[in-house]
Structure 1
Amino acid sequence: MSFEDNEVYYNNVRVVSADALPQDVAIQFSSRSRQNVVRLHDVGGSGRVSIDLRQAVGCKVLIGSGNTVVSGALNITFPMNAGRPTAGAFVVIGHANSFTGGASIQAPFTAGQGITIGSRNLIAPGLSVRGSNHAVFDLATGLQSNSEVGSTIGSRNWLGNGVNVFNRGGIGNDSVVALGAIVNKDWSATGNVALAGMPARVVSEGIAWTREMYYSTLEDVPSPDLTIGITTYERPLSLRRALDSVLSQKLPAGSQVEVLVVDDGSDSASFKELWAALGDLPRTKGFTVQGLCNPEPTGGPSAGRNSVIDVARGSHVMFLDDDDQLAEGALTPLLEYIASSTAQRTSLRYRRAGRSILLAPAMRHERLDIVDSLWTMLPPSIYRTSDIRGYRSKFPEGVHYGEDNEFVLHFSVRAENFTALCDRDYVIIGDPVAGEGAHLSQGKGSWEEFLRGVISHLDRLAKIIDGADIPAYVRDRLAAKCLIGRGITSYELARRLGDMDDSDLAADLLSAYSGIINDSIPEAAILRFARENSLEREIAAVVGNDLDALRAARAYTGAAS
């Protein structure tokens, strides 16, 4: 057994020997095991976890937090095929899954492929998920017909006894899979269905399920009114401040609020001390608090926010960073509002650097159109959980510039009902407590990397808008607001590019930005936006890809001001 040639982390701490693992976790190596990575967190229940890496090279096993093996063993294996070890495959399991009996997960043999299980699944004994052991060829073409692409089980599913999921098999979200079903087709894009049979097929659509049998209607099933997701990394003082701002709020009678805190791999002693005390923090009646840990550090908030989407039990969800706070007295009016509102996204007035940011006038705005609703594209809004999941809106992982904007836009081009609460400050967006690090989404790197990151972000916004099923005139207004407004006003690209000393780099970046605008927005919409915002000279220079004109416009603007 070699912990030196492989990386094993338990609760974010590197394990250097089998003795450092709990008794219910076993990891097997052999002389050929090397460059494998295992990351897992506490697993509840009376069962055990067994990970067999004896035939694995460069493979990965990631298991999130809050999972339970009630009895038996969760067996994860990486097979040998024709004398060759498995190389570069993976098994990823999310959060809060309940394995009520033994389960067998055999990774694909093919490099780059894997098995993914989401979060909050209820899995009966006998689950088997596996890749293909032997190749099958089409005689007419000579090509392999069963190449491995891995398997996927989504989130919040109920899998009956003895379910088998084979290569290319997929299960979506919020579904039921019947006893003994053989899933060999990809149903991962299909949610709220019942699958049954050998092979499995959809036998019922438009369903939901609960663990409890004693509710006669879905409305009777209790759930929190709101889930508040807080992402964090190595900022215990800031996190405690954020939690205190939430848990000290008074709730309307009978209201329930779920707080999910997702950590991105903190391992400092001060953070662990707070983490261990999450369940004991002072709070008013009606709050529950649960901590989740990303299966592996990601360097950004997106994975944690996506975990909140997968795990949340609340009918509505909102996202905070650990340096944000809820304003005093904010939660009662929010809960009272969403209890009667049909809004899919409710944006919130917030305070930043001592200044209130709002959609004027200072009132509650109902039935906004999509363009006006995007007066802010920051996450501190309230979303209907079912709509986020139904639209498959997720925060883009691995993105460090504008990932929140991309989520908001992806959701908004699919939704129809928007409101904005601007009658008071609801959220305080601040800085971390002195001495603590920068925000998770703050990109690292050079000035050039920042600008290229921003332009790539704007390009992704353009693609979201281009793929949206919205009227052309709405698309044009939206593209102008997001691509020109955010690019020139929010990110100040015209100023930054015009002021750059490196003319070659400035010209290269300007060309990329100009191309995005010209490819995405009709000329008439560009001109209209320029007139309405008194940016005719700067926008004309950007659209014309003319760096000299942009610098002249910058000089003119500076002189005029």
Structure 2
Amino acid sequence: MTEHPSPDVTVIIGAYEAMPYLVKCLESVENQTIGADRVEIVAVDDGSTDGTGEYLDAFAARSKVPTRVIHQPNSGGPGGPRNTGLAQARGRYVFFLDADDHFGEEALERLVAMGDRAGTDVILGRIEGVNRNAAKSMWGATVERADVYTSNVKFTLSAQKLFRRDLLMRYGIRFDTSMRTGEDALFTMEAYLRGNGVSVVADYTCYYLVGRDDGKHLTKSGDYDIRFLSARRLMELIAAHERPGEKRDLLMIRPFVTTLLPQFGHVLLRQDDATLAHKLELAAPLMRAYWTKGVAGRLKPQERLRLACVALGKAEELKAVVEYERTKRKPETVSRRGRRYLALPYFGDRSAGIPDWVYEIAGPTPSQRLWRAARRRAGALLRRRKG
């Protein structure tokens, strides 16, 4: 293969048993409007036995996009092939493209243009699911610099993003191959926190996240121990970069809501008491270290109540709360001394030991909203008269 000048982007593809999805994946790189001279592919065959390696070799021999193929024994997860590819990358940016997925045609052109214009180190492109769900909350608007703390970009920590390679090399950011799940969240969060800003391209679908018909490559949900390990590692990373306070609390919302909260949802009603006791044991050190009023106050009362039960080690109360949620009954709103509360289970029950603030509804009361609206209308009228 002829060596080309350093490209703008190295597309790193870790491939394991990826046929026939790999065909469209590679075609989507070839069809990028940025041009073949500005892209290279580093593809890592992670011990496939279904023809993936052979197809990669054939593609590299004929493609207009410079392609290097590395064959290695199966590593047991996506982090190993990604690290191998990163070590071989030459581009100013790298993009981790899963072999099941594919790009929108203008993806790399738009993402690189955004990174160069904004000077940011991590650039997110809009993702859509194909035969599977994809996160949506962070694609409301295209922004050159998103606030990691207050925006929803912290809820997308998958690896399918454009990263400035210099950032990853400077800090030695790599995927932790000892983890069975959550290694991409650690990688991406560290890049967020160490990098020179995060950009969002929301007005074009850059990436199509494909659900395989055979169900392969989906993270198994049965082993909950690895979920708690994933949450702990992410919390420790955040704590290492942010001192206690508002910024840390804003980031901690992500592991609490995305990783811990589902472990104490409706799934509990299908599990035995010993499993719940073990989950509470795993959660206890995390709640002691990182569960604060700053985190809790930014959650919905229903979420806050469940996690408050976890923090207090109240197994029976937690099960009752989950049972109540399953009924989908609408709780009554109670006003006390100018504050509003949702009368969820155990509200006002002093014997339960759950403080009232757990039930509080954030934001202004209805009367306060009316007063503020009237003040805005009066201000607008005054400005019109002056004009």
Asked which structure has the greater CA Rg, the reply is: 1
Task: Choose which of 238, 263, 285 in structure 2 pairs with 1:515.
Answer: 285
Name the counterpart of 1:226.
9
Contact between 2:115 and 2:121, CA under 8 Å: does it hold in 1?
Answer: no
Task: Choose which of 56, 61, 85 in structure 2 pairs with 1:275.
Answer: 56
Partners in 1 of 2:144 and 2:175 — Cα distance?
26
Contact between 1:498 and 1:547, CA under 8 Å: does it hold in 2?
Answer: no
Equivalent residues in 2 for 1:100-179, closer than 5 Å:
none
Partners in 1 of 2:287 and 2:244 — Cα distance?
19
Deviation at 1:224, TM superposition (A): 0.7
Partners in 2 of 1:352 and 1:544 — Cα distance?
38
Where in structure 1 do 4 or more consecutive aligned residues deviate above 6 Å?
none
- Cα RMSD of the aligned pairs, angstroms, is 2.6
Partners in 2 of 1:402 and 1:361 — Cα distance?
22
Contact between 2:234 and 2:255, CA under 8 Å: does it hold in 1?
Answer: yes
Name the counterpart of 1:37.
none
Partners in 2 of 1:332 and 1:358 — Cα distance?
22
Contact between 1:349 and 1:359, CA under 8 Å: does it hold in 2?
Answer: no
Contact between 2:119 and 2:196, CA under 8 Å: does it hold in 1?
Answer: no
Partners in 1 of 2:168 and 2:109 — Cα distance?
23
Task: Choose which of 216, 223, 233 in structure 2 pairs with 1:438.
Answer: 216
1:327 is the counterpart of 2:96:
no
**Structure number having the greater helix percentage:** 2
Partners in 2 of 1:360 and 1:464 — Cα distance?
22
Change beyond 3 A, Cα 1:346–1:272: closer
Partners in 1 of 2:22 and 2:140 — Cα distance?
30
Quick one: which amino acid aligns to residue 256 of structure 2?
A: I
Partners in 2 of 1:313 and 1:475 — Cα distance?
34
Name the counterpart of 1:125.
none
Partners in 1 of 2:55 and 2:139 — Cα distance?
41
1:143-187 alpha-carbon deviations (Å, 9 max, x no partner) = xxxxxxxxxxxxxxxxxxxxxxxxxxxxxxxxxxxxxxxxxxxxx
Name the counterpart of 2:203.
423
Equivalent residues in 2 for 1:34-433, closer than 5 Å:
222-251=5-34, 256-268=38-50, 270-283=51-64, 287-294=65-72, 296-353=73-130, 357-359=135-137, 362-371=140-149, 372=151, 373-432=153-212
1:259-286 alpha-carbon deviations (Å, 9 max, x no partner) = 1111111234x33431330213455xxx
Partners in 2 of 1:297 and 1:360 — Cα distance?
34
1:466-506 alpha-carbon deviations (Å, 9 max, x no partner) = 21155732112211x222111245xx111155223311121
Provide the aligned length of Structure 1 versus Structure 2. Answer: 325
Quick one: which amino acid aligns to residue 544 of structure 1?
A: L
Structure 1: tracts of 5 or more residues without a match: 1-65, 67-210, 212-220
Deviation at 1:361, TM superposition (A): 5.9
1:479-537 alpha-carbon deviations (Å, 9 max, x no partner) = 1x222111245xx1111552233111211112212321221232x12331334x64232
Structure 2: tracts of 5 or more residues without a match: 330-387
Quick one: which amino acid aligns to residue 520 of structure 1?
A: Y
Deviation at 1:309, TM superposition (A): 1.9
Change beyond 3 A, Cα 1:360–1:512: closer
1:536 is the counterpart of 2:317:
no
Deviation at 1:463, TM superposition (A): 1.4
Quick one: which amino acid aligns to residue 420 of structure 1?
A: V
Contact between 1:227 and 1:259, CA under 8 Å: does it hold in 2?
Answer: yes
Change beyond 3 A, Cα 1:230–1:236: same
Partners in 2 of 1:345 and 1:272 — Cα distance?
30
Name the counterpart of 2:237.
464
Change beyond 3 A, Cα 1:529–1:307: same
Deviation at 1:334, TM superposition (A): 2.3
**What SS does the aligned partner of 2:169 have?**
helix
**Structure number having the greater strand percentage:** 1
The TM-score with structure 2 as length reference comes to 0.77
Change beyond 3 A, Cα 1:272–1:226: closer
Name the counterpart of 1:525.
294
Identity of aligned residues (%): 22
Contact between 1:226 and 1:315, CA under 8 Å: does it hold in 2?
Answer: yes
1:62-87 alpha-carbon deviations (Å, 9 max, x no partner) = xxxx9xxxxxxxxxxxxxxxxxxxxx
Contact between 1:345 and 1:383, CA under 8 Å: does it hold in 2?
Answer: yes
1:549 is the counterpart of 2:317:
yes
Name the counterpart of 1:31.
none
Change beyond 3 A, Cα 1:457–1:546: same
Partners in 2 of 1:227 and 1:279 — Cα distance?
14
Contact between 1:250 and 1:332, CA under 8 Å: does it hold in 2?
Answer: yes
Partners in 1 of 2:110 and 2:176 — Cα distance?
31
Change beyond 3 A, Cα 1:360–1:274: closer
